[in-house]
Amino acid sequence: MYCPHCGADEMKVLETRESEMTNSIRRRRECLGCGRRFTSYESIKHPPITVLKKNGKKEPLSIEKIRDSLEIALRKRPINQTVIAHTQKEIERSIFSHASDRGYIDSQLIGQIILNQLKDLDATAYIRFASVYFSFSDVKAFISFIEGMQTQH
């Protein structure tokens, strides 16, 4: 780490905070060379993970796709952005935990991880995501799924 003002490599960390929204660590630093302060952000670089699709195809894991799916399921729901960011982080942790040893994960497992998080978070978002994940063929399948949810609680 080099000071962006004078280029010195000696500095001290004044404050460290975890950033929920960006999934990174924010550090406030002071350069021991010039005395000026600046902020740096650190994040973990995960090794590439391959997703094994139902049709047999393979593709790189896209956290953006997962975030988009979560955003669609939670759209217009009364849930705090901090809670949503925490949920995204938990989903990502679980995915990386399952795939860390092998370097791959089944798309069905990703869907189950997301469903498990949504089930505890918001019933409507859970049903929205499930309707796409399970590809309900008709209204009867949809109703059957909802009735099954009611008997579980």
23 in Cβ contact with 43 (< 8 Å): yes
Q: The dihedral of CA 109, 115, 118, 120: what is its sign?
A: negative
Task: Give dist(CA 95, CA 109) in Å, integer.
Answer: 8
pLDDT at position 148 = 85
Task: Give dist(CA 115, CA 108) in Å, integer.
Answer: 10
Q: pTM higher than 0.85 for the full model?
A: no
Q: In a 3-state reduction of DSSP, which class is residue 25?
A: strand
- pLDDT by residue for the chain (153 residues), tens digit each? 899 999 999 999 999 998 765 668 999 999 999 999 999 988 877 778 999 999 999 999 998 999 999 999 999 999 998 899 899 989 998 999 999 788 899 999 999 999 999 998 999 999 999 998 988 888 888 888 888 887 765
